[in-house]
Amino acid sequence: MLTDQQRRSRGPQELAEIARDLRIAMLKMLHKAGSGHTGSSLSCIDIITALYFSEMRHYPFDAEWTGRDRFVLSKGHAAPALYVALQRAGYISEQTLDQLRQLESVLQGHPDSRRCPGVEASTGSLGQGLSVAHGMALALRDHPEQPRVYALLGDGELQEGQIWEAAMSAAHYHSANLCAIVDHNGLQIDGVVAEIMSVEPVDEKFRAFGWHALTIDGHDFAQILQALEAAQNCTDRPTAIVAKTIKGKGVSFCENSVAWHGKAPNAAELSAALAELTGSRGE
Amino acid sequence: MSSRILSTRAEYGQTLVRLGERSRDIVVLDADLSGSTCTNAFAKRFPERFFNMGISEQDMICTAAGMSLAGKIPFASSFAIFATGRCWEQIRNAVALPGCNVNIVATHGGVTVGKDGASHQALEDVAIMRAIPTMTVIVPCDAVETRKAIEAAAWYDGPVYIRLTRENLPVIYDEASPFRIGVGSIVRAGDDLTIFAVGLMLHIAREAADLLQREGISARIANVSTLKPIDASLVASCAEETGCAVTAEEHNITGGLGDAVGEVLLKTHPVPMERVAVNDAFGRSGDPKDLLRYFDLTPEAIVQASKRAIERKHALAARAKDRKHATPA
């Protein structure tokens, strides 16, 4: 088990290696399950990696410790990315990954906090996670360990009005222990976000609501870590990190493809994807 | 029995204050109606544990869910129409599905909201809350029962919906009266039929029972204030012992008390049952008393329903007797 210091000292290179391992485990898991949101999970897996393996204070052997940092996957359909991170962190076994989306499995199609160890909130219905995360942040604001709460949102999800209710209330209550990260990959089920219902300008919207907002490359670990640190250093407002990402990132034929939003790789696609990912190992 | 008439909303506010004194984990949220829901009593006493979320019920409910997941015991309040209808899916997915200990206490249920009219008169809230798996639904009938229900909800593990009225209500219970979630009580003995009633209609039912008494009809009244999980054994034994039933509720006829009692009767003792409720309509503006009359939520309506139920009971008995004579063993 790593100490806080060891965890925090992981650099971009080490995190990139973890993220590649997670992508491999996730694609295998999705192939086995036969369904699931491949593209949406690949676009945010780097952010989740940075949170679980560098930024957040959490201890799988003491999962209920009240002082832990919390993560809410508001875009709950990216559950596969969360599940492989929880497995690598030690919350669930490797064998469990074989049971994605099965009847008795703790790995439901969308995260279920009652079933799956390490899942902080049940999500899947878009628009609700930021409010839930803010509720946690308010409940924890006087905790001596000063836990932080992270919510990962989709960009299409910003079309839900409740997101902006939560944006208003988190700013109103100066909830600086809340950090929202927008996985801004520009695609949603029906097509291009800008064409379906534009959400721009995302960072300016959050700023106008009273948030500290910054825009980064959501696949550049140095930028992700830097933004998370900037969020920690902002003590009077919640922070929104708008992470520009590529849907399907890491597998060439999934990248920027709406078709890969909600489908799993077949055998041939899996082997092509693994060849790309393992071929890049050590580069 | 006391003849006091008290506000259940005010009792809610005072109960929150007492709960807040007992536990630092009690937190209260409101959506800009704290003066009407009376959560402002808690806000005044514990400002650091009160969260006015503004006019945003969906955010309020999910914020309460997050607080619960972080160990708090939240009470979230608004008018019944907004606290359930505006955020039904949030209650289902963010509160009930993860089993959050969120207590939703809504005031202003039913038509007796009065002059604000249809948009503010929740007549479907009990139905849509009952429809959510694991949800507990309570409609107290007086200030004492309200206090006990609120206290029980605070320490109960799981989501609870409590519906209160805008109108003040006569107090029929005293401190010694037991209250347990899921346990109903007989508030008037009787043998000819059972009137199942909740909330404000329990008091209307008591007036109806007096009228029936004058005609020689002995009506039992059962308060099944927990509509879910309903006290099935009480409902079944009342049906068995009195042979017919009437339900009375300040709610639309679909999905409320009538259906809750009917479901039990179908499974246990399918006796003739009549329903007094709003007959698939929206509310409207008016004085509460006029509105109750307009929607046939009156002692007279309960008397008529009771007579119909008893008539059906007798007709059934007569038919059974005829069959017995017609078919030799």
Whether A137 contacts chain B with CB within 8 A: yes
Which tokens is A230 given? 């900037």
Please report the pLDDT score of residue B325 as a whole number.
83
Please report the pLDDT score of residue B281 as a whole number.
97
Sign of CA dihedral A117, A127, A108, A196: negative
> Rg (Cα) of chain B, in Å, rounded?
20
The shortest C-alpha distance from A51 to chain B (Å) reads: 19
User: What are the chain A neighbours of B76 within 8 Å (beta carbons)?
Assistant: none
Which residues does A131 contact at the CB level (< 8 Å), separation at least 6?
A162, A165, A166, A169, B58, B59, B61, B62, B63, B65, B66, B90, B94
Mean pLDDT, chain B, rounded, equals 97
Which tokens is B159 given? 């989501």
What distance in Å separates the CA atoms of residue B122 and residue B112, rounded to the nearest whole number? Answer: 10
- In this complex, the residue of A112, A133, A161 whose CB is nearest that of residue B66 is A133
The answer to ipTM > 0.85 is yes
Please report the pLDDT score of residue A239 as a whole number.
98
Is B62–A168 a contact, with Cβ atoms under 8 angstroms apart?
A: no
Which tokens is B131 given? 């429809």
What is the average per-residue pLDDT within A63-68? 96
How confident is residue B324, by pLDDT bands cut at 50, 70 and 90? confident
What distance in Å separates the CA atoms of residue B109 and residue B39, rounded to the nearest whole number? Answer: 16
What is the average per-residue pLDDT within B182-200? 98
What distance in Å separates the CA atoms of residue A242 and residue A52, rounded to the nearest whole number? Answer: 18
Secondary structure (DSSP) of B152-217: HHHHSSS-EEEE--SS-EE----TTS---TT--EEEE--SSEEEEE-THHHHHHHHHHHHHHHTT-
Which tokens is A216 given? 């980064």
Torsion angle of C-alpha atoms A104, A107, A112, A118, degrees rounded to 10: 120
Query: Is the predicted pLDDT of residue A271 greater than 60, yes or no?
Result: yes
- The active-site residue out of B57, B167, B249, B274 is B57
- In this complex, the residue of A114, A139, A172 whose CB is nearest that of residue B70 is A139
What is the average per-residue pLDDT within A131-154? 98
Q: How many percent of chain B have pLDDT more than 90?
A: 97
For the ranges A1-10, A88-97, A231-240, the lowest mean pLDDT is seen at A1-10
Q: Which residue of A has its CA nearest to B50?
A: A138
Interface of chain B toward chain A, CB-CB under 8 angstroms: 27, 51, 53-54, 56, 58-59, 61-72, 74, 89-90, 93-94, 97-99
How confident is residue B56, by pLDDT bands cut at 50, 70 and 90? very high
Mean pLDDT, chain A, rounded, equals 96
Q: How many CB pairs under 8 A join A and B?
A: 101
Structural domains of chain A ordered from first start: 12-279 (3.40.50.970)
Q: Is-catalytic flag, B89?
A: no
What is the average per-residue pLDDT within A168-187? 98
As annotated, the residues of chain B forming the CATH 3.40.50.920 domain(s) are 185-318
Query: Is the predicted pLDDT of residue A4 greater than 70, yes or no?
Result: yes
What distance in Å separates the CA atoms of residue B279 and residue B252, rounded to the nearest whole number? Answer: 6
What is the average per-residue pLDDT within A55-64? 95
Query: Is the predicted pLDDT of residue B329 greater than 80, yes or no?
Result: no
The fold adopted by the segment(s) B5-170 is Rossmann fold (3.40.50)
Is A128–B62 a contact, with Cβ atoms under 8 angstroms apart?
A: yes
Query: Is the predicted pLDDT of residue A282 greater than 50, yes or no?
Result: no
Chain A contact probe: residue of B25, B69, B88 with most A CBs at under 10 A? B69
Is A121–B66 a contact, with Cβ atoms under 8 angstroms apart?
A: yes
As annotated, the residues of chain B forming the CATH 3.40.50.970 domain(s) are 5-170
The fold adopted by the segment(s) B185-318 is Rossmann fold (3.40.50)
User: What are the chain A neighbours of B74 within 8 Å (beta carbons)?
Assistant: 135
Tens of pLDDT along B15-44? 999 999 999 999 999 999 999 999 999 999
Tens of pLDDT along B85-123? 999 999 999 999 999 999 999 999 999 999 999 999 999
- In this complex, the residue of A122, A136, A172 whose CB is nearest that of residue B98 is A122
Please report the pLDDT score of residue B26 as a whole number.
98
Which tokens is B221 given? 């009244």
